[in-house]
């Protein structure tokens, strides 16, 4: 289940950043005019996406590789399908996030409002004024944003990589509390793709939230 939690976190953080509840403290870095302009560009790019499909490759801290396909529809809906033999399926239906193990026939459900998904699947992302953004870096052909997943962190633990000057999200990396790194690379992205809304409905899933049940 550790790998499942890693991908869920990474998927949640893929398309935006933000903090829930109380406003986070002000960041200690000072953004340059170029940084602010680039963050505005990235925000506009992310806000322009209402549906998105593509393939992902996940590299775990132990070097194990998983891959699959994802589907996103704003607001609040996302589906991550691992390729066999991995039996995991993650579905956010706009109100809850379900993590299904199709081999064990179990489903763990969580309120969407209790996860960052409730924020990053919104239509209003503003990275320039988001205190979780810690740094903006540039490499030839790439724009890199470093951020923290919690207002309690003093150092970034999330790295988002975009192509530049034509923006496209290509990769993100998360460092967990034990210092281990998980990377997800995206490919064959199709913004604006038509997606059947039934993709975000977990058939015969239990209604209970925060419990494991038979599906």
Residue by residue, what is the 3-state secondary structure of the chain? CHHHHHHHHHHHHHCCCCCCCCCCCCCCCCCCHHHHHHHHHHHHHHHHCCEEEEEEEEECCCCCEEEEEEEEECCCEEEEEECCCCCEEEEEECCEEEEEECCCCEEEEEEHHHCCHHHHCCCCCCHHHCCCEEEEEEECCEEEEEECCCCCCCCCCEEEEEECCCCEEEEEEEECCCCCEEEEEEEEEEECCCCCHHHHCCCCCCCCCCCEEEC
How much is the pLDDT for 28?
Answer: 61
What's the pLDDT at 166?
96
CATH class of the domain defined by 2-204: mainly beta
Q: Where are the domains of the chain?
A: 2-204
What whole-number distance in Å separates Cα of residue 193 and Cα of residue 187? 14
Report whether 129 contacts 114 (CB < 8 A).
no
Q: What are the residue ranges in the chain where pLDDT is below 70?
A: 1-28, 113-120, 204-215
108 Cβ contact partners less than 8 Å away, ≥ 6 residues apart:
98, 99, 100, 211, 212
- pTM exceeding 0.85: no
Beta bridge partners of 169: 162
């Amino acid at each position: 289940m550790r790998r499942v939690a890693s991908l869920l976190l990474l998927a949640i953080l893929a398309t935006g950043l933000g903090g829930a509840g109380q406003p986070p403290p002000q960041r200690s870095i000072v953004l340059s005019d170029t940084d602010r302009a680039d963050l505005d560009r990235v925000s506009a790019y992310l806000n322009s996406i209402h549906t998105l499909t593509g393939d992902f490759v996940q590299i775990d801290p132990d070097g194990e590789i998983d891959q699959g396909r994802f589907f996103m529809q704003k607001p609040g809906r996302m589906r991550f399908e691992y390729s066999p033999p991995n039996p995991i399926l993650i579905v956010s239906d706009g109100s809850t996030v379900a993590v299904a193990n199709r081999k064990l026939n179990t489903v763990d459900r969580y309120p969407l409002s209790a996860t960052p998904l409730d924020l990053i699947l919104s239509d209003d992302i503003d990275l320039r004024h988001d205190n979780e953004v810690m740094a903006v870096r540039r490499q030839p052909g790439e724009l890199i944003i470093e951020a923290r997943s919690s207002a309690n962190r003093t150092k970034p633990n999330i790295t988002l990589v975009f192509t530049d000057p034509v923006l496209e999200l290509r990769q993100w990396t998360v460092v967990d509390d034990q210092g281990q790194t998980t990377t997800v690379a995206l490919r064959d992205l199709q913004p604006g793709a038509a997606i059947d809304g039934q993709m975000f409905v977990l058939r015969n899933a239990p209604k209970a939230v925060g419990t494991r049940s038979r599906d």
